[in-house]
Amino acid sequence: MSDTAIAFPSRAPDPWAWPRIDCHVHVFDPERFPYEADTFYRPAGAEIGTATQLGHVLDAHGVSHALIVGPNSGYGLDNRCLLDALARGRGRYKGVAVVGLDAGVDELQALQAQGVVGVTMNAALHGVAFYRGAGPLLERLRETGLWAQVQVEADQLVDLKPMLVDSGAKLLVDHAGRYVPSRGLAQAGFEALLSLADTGRAVVKLSGHAKYSGQPYPHADTLPYTQALLAAYTPQALIWASDWPFLRAPARIDYGPLLALLAQQVPDEAARQAILWDTPRRLFGFGG
């Protein structure tokens, strides 16, 4: 047997050498935090992702922090699983909670003290009419400095935009507004999203492509929309997210290819660094 050492190829430089933040993940732990009895959907199998499993995924991909979003599925208005993950993360995570439209300042501030930075408004699930009376809640979000995280699809934003703009609240738009790629850049909902950039207090997540793309990965039909968002918002008001653990996915999704997709759609290194690190760190107060 030869004593000659085996020469392994040198490792290529890591193109993602800076830290990164994932701005939309969920935590499901039905053994420790049982689902609500009347929940409309019960995540199971590979959809379950505990706080421990989340940490392993982030570690494997060099993601230092994450924004955990309270899901409507499974837990409804029960934020205990979310708050437990925030506490166990010891600063690694921030949270977005699910609250009722009547949530008062005291409730919001109590959540804020535990690491919550915003609350959800999911019109894609509940419909626009559900949020007709959300003006007072938005005012309380402005008062407390919390984000209104808005998930819409197609042209729903057209109806909600006047209330969102008038509220003065900080706006965090999920999954690039879930536009319909086949309708073109001039579709009303996407134009409304682009115009929110003029408020100077709106931020958009580049995420969730599988929810609205009409094509399989790498979702080539979404590229013109990403470019339009870059032009309107700049990397200083755009953030990236995986949507792990990929609830109700139409096809297999893996974490690594989602990071690669960002590199394809945002080839400029400085822009990617802003989207992955500088911007979310500044907006949500993550530590170094």
Task: For 66-125, write each residue's pLDDT tens digit.
Answer: 999 999 999 999 999 999 999 999 999 999 999 999 999 999 999 999 999 999 999 999
Domain segments of the chain as ranges: 20-284
pLDDT > 90: what percent of the chain?
92
- Is pLDDT above 80 for 174? yes
pLDDT 10s digits, 235-270: 999 999 999 999 999 999 999 999 999 999 999 999
Phi, psi torsion values for 145, nearest 5 degrees: 80, 15
What is the average per-residue pLDDT within 194-223? 98
Average per-residue pLDDT for the chain: 94
Task: Please tell me the predicted confidence (pLDDT) of residue 19.
Answer: 85
How many angstroms separate the Cα of 281 from the Cα of each of 4, 23, 152, 165, 255? 48, 10, 25, 24, 21
Would you list the DSSP string of the chain? ---PPP-PPPPPPPTT-S-EEEEEE----TTTSPPPTT-S----GGG---HHHHHHHHHHTTEEEEEEEPPSTTTTT--HHHHHHHHHHTTSEEEEE---TT--HHHHHHHHTTTEEEEEEEHHHH-SGGGTT-HHHHHHHHHHT-EEEEE--TTHHHHHHHHHHHH--EEEEGGGGG--GGG-TT-HHHHHHHHHGGGS-EEEEE--HHHH-SS-TT-GGGHHHHHHHHHHH-GGGEEE---TTTTT-SS---HHHHHHHHHHH---HHHHHIIIIIHHHHHHT---
Q: Which fold has domain 20-284?
A: TIM Barrel (3.20.20)
Tens digits of residue pLDDT in 20-45: 999 999 999 999 999 999 998 999 99
pLDDT, average across residues 136-145? 98
What is the per-residue pLDDT for 2? 43
